[in-house]
C-alpha cells in the first residue's frame, strides 16, 4: 500500500468529519508517513487504515457524525459553494422556463363590437343575431396586454361555431373608443399596456362543417393565437358579452355554400 | 494486562511532558515516547492526543519548513498545558506512591 493509498483509506473512514478537521488530520498523517523510511510497510508499521482511523478518532475525541448537516460540513467549502451556485442557477433556469411557459398577459380590453342588426339576448348576457347567409357580418373585441413583456399576436383561429367567412382586421394601439381605423391583420407585437381591436369582417356562411341545430355562440371566450419567446399557443380570453347566432331555418349543413 | 491499555491512560500526560521539554513535532514526539518505553502506543493515538490537547488549548502549533520533506507541525505547551502537566504529574505521583504501598512486600 502506497503512502497516498494509506492516507486516502484513512480519509475515507473519517469522511463524516468536517472538511477542515479531516484535512488537518490527513495532512499530519501524510507528513508523518513522509518521515518514515522509504521502504516502510505502512500497513505493518501503523496497522490497517481502518484501525488507524478508529484510534485517531478515539484519541482525538472525535465522535462519529451523522445527518444532513454533518454531510454538508464534510464537503469541501468550495465544492459546496459551486454546488449551491449550480443549484441556484438550475433552479432559476427551471423557474424561468416554467414562468415563460405560463406567461399569458392577454386580457379582454372591455369593448366588443357586435353585428349591426344584433339585439340584446332576452334573459341572458350578450346579444343575439339572426344568421342570414351571405349578409354582412362583423364582430370585434379589444385585447390588452396586462403583463410586463410584449407578446406577438398571430391571429384568431377558426372555431366550430364560426358561422361566417371573415377576414381579420386590426387597428393602431390604444385607439380612442370611437375611432377605429382598421387595416388588414398582420402579426404584431402587443406591448405592455397596449390595447387593440381585433375585428372580423365578412359574411354569414356555413363554413364550419358543423350542422347547427338552433344556433351557436361566439365571444364567451375569444381564442387568440400568440407567441412569446419560443412558445406559440392559443389562449382563450374571457370576454363579457357573448354573441349568439340563431337560425331562421333548421341547421346549417356543412359546405352548403362552398 | 495489555500494556497499551495502561499507557493510554497516561498518554496525554506523557505527550505534554515530552513537549514541555521543548518545541517538537509529531514524529519526534513518537520517537521520544518509544525511547522512554511507550512503545505500545499507536501512532494514531499520539496524533489524536495531540489534536485533542491542541483543541483544549493546552498546546499551540506552528508550521515550519523541513529539510527532509513537507512542512512539519511544531507543538509547544501553553500556560494552560503547563498547569495541566503539573496537576497531572502530582496526581500521577500520588497514584504511583499509593500503588507502591500496595505492592510493597
This complex has an ipTM of 0.79
Nearest-angstrom CA–CA distance, A208 and A231: 28
| Environment class of A92 (CB within 10 Å of its CB; exposed 0-12, middle 13-18, buried 19+) | exposed
Nearest-angstrom CA–CA distance, A139 and A128: 12
| Mean pLDDT across B47-71 | 87
Nearest-angstrom CA–CA distance, B63 and B35: 25
Nearest-angstrom CA–CA distance, A24 and A130: 89
Which three three-digit cell numbers place residue A55?
Answer: 484510534
Yes or no, beta carbons of A46 and B44 under 8 Å apart: yes
| Mean pLDDT across A109-119 | 87
Collapsed DSSP state (helix, strand, coil) of residue A204 = strand
For the whole model, what pTM was predicted?
0.58
Pairing of strands A221-228, A231-238: antiparallel
Min Cα distance A1 → chain B (Å) is 17
- Would the pLDDT of B94 be above 50? yes
Collapsed DSSP state (helix, strand, coil) of residue A196 = strand
Min Cα distance B3 → chain A (Å) is 16
User: Which positions in chain B touch A25 (Cβ < 8 Å)?
Assistant: 47, 51
Neighbour count for residue A65 (Cβ, 10 Å): 15
Which three three-digit cell numbers place residue B40?
Answer: 505500545
- Would the pLDDT of A160 be above 70? no
Nearest-angstrom CA–CA distance, B37 and A11: 30
Task: Please state, in angstroms and as integers, the Cα–Cα distance from residue B60 to each residue in A30, A94, B51, B75, following that order.
Answer: 20, 50, 10, 6
Yes or no, beta carbons of A35 and B68 under 8 Å apart: yes
Name the CA radius of gyration of chain B, rounded.
Answer: 15
- Would the pLDDT of A184 be above 70? yes
pLDDT range class, residue A257, cuts 50, 70, 90: very low
- Would the pLDDT of A255 be above 70? no
Using the Cβ of A14 and the Cβ atoms of chain B, whether some distance falls under 8 Å is answered with no
Pick among B5, B44, B50, B54 to test the A interface (most A CBs inside 10 A) = B44
**In this prediction, what percent of chain A has a pLDDT beyond 70?**
88
Identify the pLDDT of residue A256.
46
User: Which positions in chain A touch B27 (Cβ < 8 Å)?
Assistant: 31-32, 35-36
pLDDT range class, residue A180, cuts 50, 70, 90: low
Nearest by CB to B48, from A45, A46, A57: name it: A57
Spatial neighbors of A108 by CB under 8 A, at least 6 apart, are A141, A142, A143, A144, A222, A237, A238, A239, A240
Identify the pLDDT of residue A217.
64
Q: Which of A43-47, B58-62, B74-78 has the lowest mean pLDDT?
A: A43-47
User: Which positions in chain B touch A54 (Cβ < 8 Å)?
Assistant: 44
Nearest-angstrom CA–CA distance, B30 and B43: 7
**CB contact residues (below 8 A), chain A span 48-67, against chain B:** 51-62
Min Cα distance B70 → chain A (Å) is 6
Q: Which of A128-137, A206-215, B22-31, B50-59 has the lowest mean pLDDT?
A: A206-215
Summarize pLDDT for A87-102 with one digit per residue, the tens. Answer: 999 999 999 999 999 9
Ramachandran class of A222: left when φ > 0, alpha when ψ lies in -120 to 50, beta otherwise: beta
Q: Which residue of A has its CA nearest to B71?
A: A31
Yes or no, beta carbons of B52 and A24 under 8 Å apart: no
Nearest-angstrom CA–CA distance, A124 and A241: 9
Nearest-angstrom CA–CA distance, B89 and A67: 41
Nearest-angstrom CA–CA distance, A166 and A175: 22
Which three three-digit cell numbers place residue B92?
Answer: 500521577
Amino acid at each position: 500500500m502506497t503512502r497516498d493509498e494509506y492516507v486516502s483509506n484513512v480519509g475515507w473512514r473519517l469522511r463524516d468529519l468536517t472538511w477542515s478537521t479531516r484535512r488537518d488530520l490527513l495532512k499530519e498523517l501524510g507528513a508523518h508517513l513522509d518521515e518514515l523510511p522509504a521502504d516502510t510497510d505502512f500497513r505493518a508499521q501503523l496497522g490497517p487504515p481502518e484501525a488507524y482511523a478508529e484510534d485517531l478518532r478515539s484519541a482525538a475525541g472525535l465522535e462519529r457524525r451523522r445527518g444532513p448537516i454533518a454531510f454538508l460540513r464534510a464537503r469541501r467549502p468550495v465544492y459546496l459553494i459551486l454546488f449551491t451556485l449550480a443549484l441556484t442557477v438550475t433552479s432559476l433556469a427551471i423557474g424561468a422556463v416554467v414562468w415563460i411557459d405560463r406567461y399569458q398577459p392577454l386580457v379582454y380590453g372591455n369593448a366588443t363590437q357586435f353585428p349591426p342588426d344584433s339585439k340584446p339576448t332576452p334573459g341572458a348576457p350578450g346579444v343575439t343575431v339572426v344568421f342570414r347567409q351571405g349578409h354582412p357580418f362583423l364582430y370585434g373585441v379589444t385585447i390588452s396586454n396586462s403583463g410586463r413583456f410584449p407578446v406577438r399576436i398571430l391571429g384568431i383561429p377558426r372555431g366550430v361555431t364560426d358561422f361566417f367567412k371573415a377576414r381579420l382586421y386590426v387597428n393602431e394601439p390604444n385607439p380612442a373608443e370611437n375611432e377605429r381605423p382598421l387595416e388588414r391583420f398582420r402579426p404584431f407585437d402587443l406591448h405592455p399596456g397596449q390595447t387593440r381591436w381585433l375585428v372580423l369582417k365578412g359574411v354569414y356562411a356555413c363554413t364550419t362543417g358543423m350542422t347547427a341545430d338552433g344556433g351557436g355562440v361566439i365571444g364567451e371566450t375569444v381564442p387568440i393565437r400568440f407567441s412569446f419567446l419560443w412558445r406559440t399557443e392559443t389562449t382563450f380570453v374571457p370576454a363579457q358579452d357573448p354573441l349568439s347566432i340563431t337560425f331562421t331555418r333548421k341547421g346549417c349543413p356543412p359546405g352548403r355554400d362552398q | 494486562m495489555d500494556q497499551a491499555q495502561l499507557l493510554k491512560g497516561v498518554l496525554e500526560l506523557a505527550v505534554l511532558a515530552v513537549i514541555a521539554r521543548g518545541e517538537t513535532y509529531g514524529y519526534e514526539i513518537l520517537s521520544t515516547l518509544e525511547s522512554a518505553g511507550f512503545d505500545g502506543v499507536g501512532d494514531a493515538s499520539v496524533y489524536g492526543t495531540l489534536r485533542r490537547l491542541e483543541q483544549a488549548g493546552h498546546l499551540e502549533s506552528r508550521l515550519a519548513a523541513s529539510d527532509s520533506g513537507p512542512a512539519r507541525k511544531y507543538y509547544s505547551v501553553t500556560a494552560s498545558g503547563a498547569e495541566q502537566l503539573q496537576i497531572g504529574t502530582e496526581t500521577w505521583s500520588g497514584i504511583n506512591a499509593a500503588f507502591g504501598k500496595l505492592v510493597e512486600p
